[in-house]
Structure 1
Amino acid sequence: MIYRALIVFIFCCLLLPQTQGQANFCKTTDSLGVRTYFKKAAKASQQGNYTEAIAFFQQAEDLYKKIGCEGRAFLVNRNILKTYLKAGDLLGFNKFFQKIIQEVRSPQTEEEFIYKGRLYLLKSEYNIMSNKLDLASLSAQKASGIHEKQEAWKYYIRDNIQLAKIAFRQHDYERMEQFVDKSFIAYKTYIKVDNKILQKIMGLYGALYYKTGDYEEALEKTINAADVVQKDMKTKDDTLFLARFYNNIGLFYIELGDIYKAEDYCNNSLSLFKKLGNYFDAATTNLNLGEFFARQGKLEEALLLYKSGLKSLVKSKGVPPYQLDQSYINIYNGIAYAAIELGSNEEAYTAIQKNLEIHKRQADKKDETFSVCGLYYRAIGNYDKSLTYYKEALAIRKETYGTEHPLIAQVYFDLGETEQKKNNGRQAQVYYDLAKQAINVPVKGDLMSFLINKDSVNSIPDKSILLKIFDAEARLLQEKNALELANEKTGAAVLLLENMRNNFKEEGSKLFMVQTMIPTYELSIGVSLDLYQRTKDKMYLEDAFQLVEKSKAMLLLDALKAEEARNFGNIPKELLDEERRLARERVRYEKLLFEAKSVKDEQLLNIHQKELLKLKIASEKLQNTLERDYPKYHELKYNTQIASLEQVQEGLDEKTALIEFFVGAEMIYIFSIYTDTVWVTAVPMDNQFSTSIRGLRTALTDIKMLANDLNSSYLLLAKNGRLIYQKYLEPALKKEGGERLVLIPDGMLNYVPFDVLLTEKPNYETVDFKKLPYLIKKQTISYHYSSTLKLFSRSSVKTNGKMLAMASSYDKAAFINSKGFGARHYRIRTSVDDLPGAKKEVEYLSTTFAGDFLYGEDSNEKNFKTYSQNTPYSVIHLAMHGIVDSKQPEYSSLVFTHSANKNEDDLLHAYELNLLEINTDLVVLSACETGFGKYERGEGVVSLGRGFMYSGAPSLVMTLWPINDKATSVLISEFYNELARGHGKDVAMRNAKMTYLNRSKSITAHPFFWASFINLGDCKPIELKKHWAWWQIALLVLPMVLIVGFFIRRKNSKNEK
């Protein structure tokens, strides 16, 4: 991280205190309305009318003196001094201070001694604002000496907190620790029960450990501080403290790489600051949220947040100039960083110049600005100037932190990268070694043994920077053709990544870590394959395959492992019930939060964010308890086994091939796995990859082109279907064999229905969609998310051979008269039309197969959840609209019939599905684009279909684009007939499509009508019981009745004779 956005908040002594805290040593009744003047003064101060506020305080002072209450007059004077500080009027403060300090130059009573000590503490704050830190320390020490002698321990603790603040500003963290320890010892010895004091001390420890690079300890202390605040929330000050703690917790999570947890805390912090009207601290939280987006590569969003922070600073009032300067430096550095990454060098230069101007009066944070300067000059190719700035930053940091600190490691890493850009690999490696030393990682010795040791790994203060170091070293070694050493470095990076992932609870953070490492995975795969070509050692081929697998669907695999751990981890039922309750509540509030965001309801947004954070904290605490107290649960949850090539081969038969893709930035790797052989095809990445896939998608889904420009549609399909086959699939196939293909796509290939690829050169002159040489005419195709999921996915329980089929209907008029729904819900309901074919689909199924068939108002979300979770159906068939949310795919939803149920909104969102436990062999989603969604690198396409995998379905049929109603009915009916004949799901789907294609004529043979359906997951045959109508039963039974009757009559006839 280039800049820092920590709020060292506990030193804010400019807030006006409650009037009841003015004194205990003057008992005179307030009969002159003095309290009114205090209220007026406080109001004026809050509005920034400081001169008016001082005037009101002086009126209060005059009244107290008239009644002989000097003690209260002294405290009024303290408030006047605070107001001068808040106004930034240092001259006014000093003049008034000199006057009142004389009044207590010879204190007589305990109260007067304490009051004098408190005045010195204010003088310390004045010296801080004057940037005279040594004098500030002397003033605070005077206060501390007085209060210690008087045994005024609360004030003594405040003095030491002030001294810790000054040491923090001076970057003297050893002295800071001494003062924080003094505060804590005094608290434990003399106070014990004052939460206000404890929260400040714990917050200080958090700031201390953060600055010394111990982010884990900083996080723990600050979470403890936030817990203390929440136990005794009474005033606005408590809310302010909590908001600042949340900001810092968010920052610590960012540093630890757990960025989605950071987002939760920062969002809650920001909403609290806005509620308090605290623009200054809101600017800091905007900075941290900007960092959240910057780390994901969402630089435009980051830039907007940084600029929003600037606007907040402009609105800030009563903030000391040095604090404003520090915040401006932070934000301008953030703007410069994002601009550099976006290639907006002019904007970056402008931001840097603003900071250099500020540094003429403000020395703090020069190291951070110089680091950004180094980045800027490296980006424009001026490497010598870049190195100069990085070295200046390093000198400042060494003086501040010594030789061991994550920020020292960061600068060494930046120096190494710059030297590497200069093609000076030897010096680059020197800097990388120094960077490792700065975070306690050995340069020599057995690196893997170090990383396997839990204590060793936990001693690394910043694992994220170490990941970057390993990646850079591996690239350097690859350039030298030192492949074995490069392989060791990438292996170390992967091992460290897995350690970090296992420490995260939030799925988003886990996925972010995998996405961050995709370039390293690609590098490592390339190195392993080069070593395989050089040595023919299959170990390297296996390593490459394992890396491909680790780059895919890990969240889904984690979810299935967690479910296994719940089932077999010996967890008491009451804890499992609590886990499910928390999960359900999280889903409920996530849905409410999404609705609030969609209508931009700031008030509801804040309420739901607050509740959701509480639930996430409670859920994490429960997870930590389960993992700590139930070892078997922990072992099952984290013992993730990745499929080996041998295991994949054993899971295939002689007629089946598995083709797995890895799409990198530079290369596309294609693994061809047959029972008797494995090979890898490497295809260089170029623009043709994306343009051909986009072209094919356009040909498949642009119905207007098909209707208005048939030739263009045909040529687009033919050229791109042929190119993709020739370049990306044909090299991965045997000339003979492999009648069945299991495809595990990656990247944009997830949007390709391989059925339509062309195995031979087509006739480009004559438009004939039916005669095109589609791959489906030769081979049976199915899909999966990863080889590991294919092998180790849980199988469903024994099913009943029956079907649950639902066809929803959409009465817009009935919904319009309903109340209590958000704008998004309203938009969805008023945009969907009835699907006549859906009801016909289900009616046909009801006449053919046994099961439960729900239409219209019965096809609602509540009935779906009840039926699907209580009965082990062989098939669940859902014929209804699907809504795809491309920006937030987890909010894509199936649209059930609107009902009056208050607990369900009849929109089944993708993220809700992982709470369901659906026992079935197959889910068929006969809806619009149920297999389409946003591609998440490292996880795959996040779609409605994928959600059903989370709920336990081993096999899915879903669509890649909206499909014609009539074509759907034909394909689905044929598919089920093929299943009923005992075919596997993939064969059943192929036969259904071929039946449709053979019957089609002219334009209806276009793949738009038949290729949208894909089969994903387990392909084994399933049992489907037939529905028997009364006349079918009669036809079956009647011959038996006649035969029995014949024998009875014959027997009777013999008896008569």
Structure 2
Amino acid sequence: MKFRPVWLVFVIPSFFAQAQHSEISKLLDSAMLVWYSDFDRTQQLVLKAEKFFTDSTATVNADLIELYKLRIQSCLAFSRLQQMNQYIVELEKLLIKNKQHFSREELSKMKLDMEFPRAQYHLAIGENKRALESFLNIKAELMKVAQTPEVCYEIYLQSNYISAIHRDLGEFEASVNEQLSSIPYLICSNRPGFPVVYRNLALTYLEKRDFNQTGKYLKLSEDSLKRALQLWPEEHARVAISLYETQAGYYERIGHPDSAMMAMIKALSLIHLRSVNNLFKGRIYYRLGVLNLRLGNLNEANKYIEQAEANFKPLEGDPLHVARTFLLKAEWSSQSGNYAKALAYCEKAEMELAARVEKGAAGNSIIVGTISKKELFNILHKKTQVLLRLFEQSANRAHLIHALNTNQMAVALFDSTANEFSLDKDKIILSELSYSAFEYGIRIAHRLYRLTGDRQYLEKCFWFMDKSKGILLLENLRLVNRFSGIEPEWLQREKELKAEMLWAEQEIFRTESARNQSDKLQSVRERYAAIKSDYSVLLSQIRSKAADFYRLRFDHSVVPMQTIQQQLLKPGEVLIEFFTGDSILAVAGFTRSKMYMQVKPLPTEFTNLINKLQSALTRSSAASFTNPARELYDLLLNDCLAELGSDMKSLIIIPDGLLGYIPFEVLMSSDQQNSFLNNNYAVYYAHSATYLHEQLQRKLPDPKYFFAGFVASGNPKLGVQLATRNEALSVLKGAEHEVASIAKLIRSKFKIFNPAGKTDFIKHAPDYRILHLAMHAVVNDANPMMSEMIFTVADSAEQSLTAGELYGMQLNSTLAVLSACNTGMGQLHRGEGIMSFSRGFAYAGVPSAVISLWKVPDEATSKIMVNFYRYLKKGETKDRALQLARQEFVRDNPEYAHPYFWSGFILTGTTNPIEFPSAFRWYWYVLALLVVIAGGYVFRNRLMPGRNLS
């Protein structure tokens, strides 16, 4: 039995029967050598076999079936999809007609084998979800039988396809996991295939924008392919071309266009080989067209684009490559200054991918179905840019309106795609990839507002700003608000599956990070894949059986500006929201009666200003914070506050991007030291206006107890224990005093856990209204879900609560105070913000949190925290209490007037005052009751007439 290597997409079917006739066996052997390189020759061999059976009246046997299956694979290899579908149907009919010639086991195996080309066909025509279900089903059935090398190879093939579909859908974590879990089965099969596995992993990481991992797997793929390509170039040409394509994309992304061009020249050197068909030729020319466009070589680019189109056009049922070519021609036309032609190509590309397009009320196209949401998003985004250029060229307002409508369609695709993702990580990546659509929406809507004065465009401008933020937090909070107490079966099942996925993901990370990786890694990967599959099935069930629930479950609507002014804001409050794009800075401001909107170019020194201020604030000796603090005030706040009025007392800041790393309280309205924003405004922060509004709608639970202090101040051994994290953690000498002082203020319904263990927090935290954590935190930028809060137990052994575990909790608290270091820091993701512990507590249901932006000195932390609680007890709102606590600290400790000491703590979320429990003990109530009874007795006796008291 002969085997050929597997390629990225085109695979060899299984062969499971011995030849019954030598003639058919010879034809089958010949077909196995040419099916991937010569479609016509494969067709001739099948026809010859059919003639043999007709002339000899022989019965249908397994070899003939395999020959038919090879022809189906050849159709796929040469993109003859209509013929592929026709031959699949014919073979299914043939099997039914001749089923008496096969055993029950053979028929069962043939039925499973026929599901494979059918799944391939669905994938080829863009029916990814349907294909995924089939591949998962085949894999599940194969996992039930004895895992011979042949079966292992079949499992490996299914995993290849499953991984590719997850990648195309933007589900990168699932794609990587599936591909890695296929490796043991590839080893079991004793087949070559590592160049494909490594290249596929590199492609997934490239789309995920993890360039370190991309480079690693590209090198592994090239190293494992090198010798095979030298010995058998015909068989390995397609693998090599796919690898060089990915290399070119990688080098292009990291800014090495010359290396990208060299990779594609290597691909071009293989184009003469017989196995390199029109599809692969088209891909080579397409990528060369892209690279030459990037380099500004318009003539060379045009030549390659035309060659790509000539190779893609003959392909049946392959709209993706045709659409990509049209999009590339649109880019070429744009660079050539012919925007009308560019628009025409965008619309051609759009029509290639749109399954159904309807006309909207305004005459614009509304896409009802599509083959690929990701590719269509790219087309709509390019079309938006072209329409904006046409407006700038012609001043025709219709182009600008058309651009806005097109951009809204792109954002609608973003919403639709996000709803289909199960993992938060994948949604975060999607938000980052889609961020530029929101930037263009803001620019266009604001331009239309300036041209027309029509308030609807101002509304739309704010809609884009707010919609770009915090989709994950909003989904989670709306889930709590709208379905708490209902707990439909699917909602409970969803919670369970997401918790299991999170657990599996963390287990994979821990096992991979361990020095000695255990054997359990493969089983955890397989468990992860099974959970992911179950979650996809659940979402499909929800969509079909509970459409209203599904719509509300993934509602991403934005709070209207009128609602912000009339319901969200209190008298004296200002809300200012920011959007920082690649080229614009947008500022929206609201009071109850006024509003402000400005969109201006983002200064080239913007990032440098943020870095300067951050650096100056995190070092107590630095005196250089004044200039950046003053410049940022002028850039971000000066005009807005001047227009909205100076009589405001409270400021809600909704930051974006790098602005999330700085405390606005230190921005200065003048060069005078007393001009800090903290001196004039109580400041607090929110993830988005919509999220803040949703938080205020939430009915807060009433926990049994009031205050829980969790103290893990550490000991001299703890620093040594944590050295493996590259983080030397000192003993927090003031932590115990801090929490004890707060407890004295509260006086009742409190408990101090000291030393606090992780189990203490998990078990008791849901029972308290205020959670105060005085301990260290360690931020993990590589995997934010593995960031840790460091607890201790009685023997001072270190324990940690990860951000991922926190996300899985359901807390009932009103406020979390995280006096640990760096609890407001973390990895920045555009569209979702900073992956900090503040976000984790918000996800767990806590509407307010006090967090730190750097390692605030222990003594300063303790004093500010005690002051904060004292003002809270007096009935101040949370933002005002924190403002007064800072001011009192500076007033009492002038030597610590530098913002490094007092501005590190900020408040996020809602600001409602907190009612403290009464300090009276039960015996005071009893004593008061006794006094009342005694007084009543005396009074009663005095009123009784004629009573002889002698």
Same fold (TM over 0.5): yes
The worse-fitting range, judged by mean Cα deviation, of 802-811 and 626-635 is 626-635
Cα offset, 1:827, TM superposition: 2.8
Amino acid at match of 1:207: Q
| Secondary structure at the counterpart of residue 966 of structure 1 | helix
Distance 2:948 2:800 in 1: 71
- What is the identity, as a one-letter code, of the residue corresponding to 1:120? L
Residue 33 of structure 2: aligned partner: 126
Deviation at 1:335, TM superposition (A): 1.0
Q: 1:737 to 1:394 in 2, by over 3 A?
A: same
Alignment of 1:937-948 (within 5 A): 937-948=830-841
What is the distance in 2 between the residues matched to 1:141 and 1:890? 58
5 Å matches for 1:903-918? 906-918=799-811
Give 2:168's aligned residue.
Answer: 255
Aligned residue number for residue 93 of structure 1: none
Query: Residue 358 of structure 1: SS of its match in structure 2?
Result: coil
Residues 814 and 408 (structure 1), Cα distance of their counterparts in 2 relative to 1, 3 Å cut: closer
How far does residue 755 in structure 1 lie from its aligned partner after superposition? 0.8
* Contact 1:553–1:940 under 8 Å retained in 2: yes
Instruction: Determine if contact 1:10/1:204 at 8 Å carries over to the other structure.
Output: no
Match of 1:887 in 2: 782
Map of 1:923 onto structure 2: 816
Q: Which residue matches 1:405?
A: 319
Gap runs ≥5 in structure 1: 23-74, 76-110, 707-712, 763-770, 817-823
Partner of 1:840 in structure 2?
A: 737
Counterparts of residues 272-291 of structure 1 (less than 5 Å): 272-273=185-186, 278=191, 280-291=192-203
User: Which of 135, 146, 149 matches 2:41?
Assistant: 135
Structure 2 Cα separation of the partners of residues 449 and 633 of structure 1: 31
Letter in 2 for 1:550: K
- Matched letter for residue 855 of structure 1: F
**Alpha carbons of structure 1 residues 569 and 137: separation in structure 2 relative to 1, 3 Å:** farther
2:288/2:304 contact within 8 Å kept: yes
Report what 1:860 is aligned to.
757
What SS does structure 1 have at the residue aligned with 2:8? coil
Amino acid corresponding to residue 521 of structure 2 in structure 1: L
Deviation sequence 1:847-902 (CA, Å, 0-9, x none): 33223423334x11222111123x2x22111111111112221211111114799x
Question: How far is 1:1049 from its partner?
Answer: 9.3
Larger Rg: 1
- The 5-angstrom pairing of residues 806-825 of structure 1 reads 806-810=710-714
Alpha carbons 2:446, 2:457 under 8 Å: kept: yes
Aligned-pair distance for 1:356? 1.6
Larger mean Cα displacement after TM superposition, 115-124 or 428-437: 115-124
Q: Secondary structure at the match of 2:593?
A: coil
CA distance in 2, matches of 1:795, 1:1048: 46
Matched, 1:529 2:421: no
Residue in structure 2 matched with residue 614 of structure 1 by the alignment: 530
Q: CA deviation at 1:926?
A: 1.2
Corresponding position of 2:159 = 246
Does residue 391 of structure 1 match 2:306?
yes
Superimposed CA distance per residue, residues 31-89 of structure 1 (whole angstroms, 9 cap, x where no aligned partner): xxxxxxxxxxxxxxxxxxxxxxxxxxxxxxxxxxxxxxxxxxxx8xxxxxxxxxxxxxx
Shift of 1:978: 0.9
- Counterpart in 2 of 1:773? 675
CA distance in 2, matches of 1:685, 1:160: 62
Q: Which residue of 2 aligns with 1:628?
A: 544
Q: Distance in 2 between matches of 1:141 and 1:854?
A: 84
Instruction: Rate the CA distance shift 1:305–1:845 in 2: closer, same or farther, 3 A.
Output: same
How does 1:641-660 map onto structure 2 within 5 Å?
Answer: 641-650=557-566, 651-660=568-577
Match of 1:229, as an amino acid?
A: L
| Displacement after TM superposition at 1:138 (Å) | 2.9
User: In the alignment, which residue of structure 2 is the partner of 1:699?
Assistant: 616
The answer for the alignment partner of 1:783 in structure 2 is 685
- Given that 2:8 and 2:239 are in contact with CA atoms closer than 8 Å, whether structure 1 keeps it comes out as no
Query: What's 1:1019 paired with?
Result: 911
| Amino acid in the other structure paired with 1:843 | A
Q: Which of the numbers 408, 414, 420 marks the counterpart of 1:491?
A: 408
One-letter amino acid of the structure 2 residue matched with residue 637 of structure 1:
R
Rounded to whole Å, the distance in 2 between the matches of 1:785 and 1:977 is 27
Tell me by how many angstroms 1:815 deviates: 11
Give CA deviations for 1:139-168 in whole Å, capped at 9, x if unaligned.
344445667954445444322111112223
* Shift in alpha-carbon separation, 1:275–1:860, aligned structure 2, 3 A: farther
SS of the residue 1:457 aligns to: strand
Give the alignment partner of residue 863 of structure 2, picking from 970, 992, 1001: 970
**Cα distance in 2 for residues equivalent to 1:562 and 1:669:** 30
Q: Amino acid of the residue matched to residue 879 of structure 1?
A: A
Q: CA RMSD in A?
A: 3.2
Q: In terms of mean alpha carbon deviation, does 355-364 or 936-945 score higher?
A: 355-364
1:516 lines up with 2:433 in the alignment: yes
2:368 matches 1:457: yes
Given that 1:9 and 1:241 are in contact with CA atoms closer than 8 Å, whether structure 2 keeps it comes out as: no
CA distance in 2 between partners of 1:814 and 1:542 (Å): 53
8 Å contact 1:212–1:401 — kept in the other structure?
A: no
Instruction: Give, as a single letter, the amino acid of the residue that structure 2 aligns with 1:238.
Output: V
Alignment of 1:20-169 (within 5 A): 111=20, 113=21, 115-128=22-35, 131-143=37-49, 149-169=57-77
Q: Is the 8 A contact 1:899 1:906 kept in 2?
A: no
1:1010 aligns with 2:902: yes
SS for the counterpart of 1:295 is: helix
Q: SS at the partner of 2:574? A: strand
1:147·1:153 contact (CA, 8 Å) conserved in 2?
no
Aligned partners of 2:149 and 2:188 also within 8 Å? no
Counterparts of 1:672-821 in structure 2, within 5 Å, are 672-703=589-620, 706=621, 713-714=622-623, 716-733=624-641, 734-762=644-672, 771-793=673-695, 794-800=698-704, 802-810=706-714
- Specify the SS of the correspondent of 1:9: coil
- Is the 8 Å Cα contact of residues 409 and 435 (structure 1) preserved in structure 2? yes
Within the alignment, does 1:237 sit opposite 2:145 as a pair? no
Query: Deviations 1:652-698 (Å, cap 9, x if unpaired)?
Result: 12300100000011110000111112121223112321111111111
Q: Distance in 2 between matches of 1:124 and 1:801?
A: 77
Q: Is the 8 A contact 1:807 1:855 kept in 2?
A: yes
Q: For residues 494 and 842 of structure 1, do their structure 2 counterparts lie closer, same or farther at Cα, with a shift above 3 Å needed? A: same
Quote how far apart the aligned CAs of 1:315 are.
Answer: 6.3
1:804 counterpart SS class:
strand
Rounded to whole Å, the distance in 1 between the matches of 2:108 and 2:513 is 39
Distance (whole Å) between structure 2 residues aligned to residue 1050 and residue 205 of structure 1: 96
Corresponding position of 1:311: 223
Structure 2 CA distance for partners of 1:368 and 1:1045, relative to 1, 3 Å: same
Rounded to whole Å, the distance in 1 between the matches of 2:145 and 2:935 is: 91
Measure the CA separation in 2 of the matches of 1:317 and 1:854. 67
- How far 1:314 sits from its partner (Å)? 3.3
> Aligned to 2:675, what secondary structure does the other structure show?
coil
2:324 maps to 1:322: no
Q: Retained in 2: the 8 A contact 1:722–1:761?
A: yes
Instruction: Supply the distance in 2 between the matched residues of 1:920 and 1:5 (Cα, whole angstroms).
Output: 55
Q: Distance in 1 between matches of 2:160 and 2:456?
A: 47
The Cα shift of 1:442 comes to: 7.3
Match of 2:521 in 1: 605
8 Å CA contact retained: 1:837, 1:965:
yes
In structure 2, the partner of 1:66 is: none
1:669 is the counterpart of 2:583: no
Per-residue deviation, 1:939? 0.6
> d(CA) in 2 for partners of 1:237 and 1:380?
47
Q: What residue ranges of structure 2 are gaps of 5+ in the alignment?
A: 1-5, 392-398
User: What SS is found at the alignment partner of 1:11?
Assistant: coil
Which deviates the most, 742-751 or 154-163?
Answer: 154-163
Q: Distance between the aligned counterparts of 1:655 and 1:882, measured in 2?
A: 36
Call closer, same or farther: CA 1:577–1:787 in 2, change over 3 Å. closer
Q: CA deviation at 1:471?
A: 1.7
Q: Distance in 2 between matches of 1:879 and 1:730?
A: 36
Most deviating of 259-268 and 973-982: 259-268
Partner SS state of residue 963, structure 1: coil
- What secondary structure, in the 3-state scheme, does the structure 1 residue paired with 2:856 have? coil
State how far apart, in whole Å, the 1-side matches of 2:27 and 2:725 are: 65
Q: Is the 8 A contact 2:771 2:817 kept in 1?
A: yes
Task: Determine the C-alpha separation between the residues in 2 that align with 1:1042 and 1:277.
Answer: 92
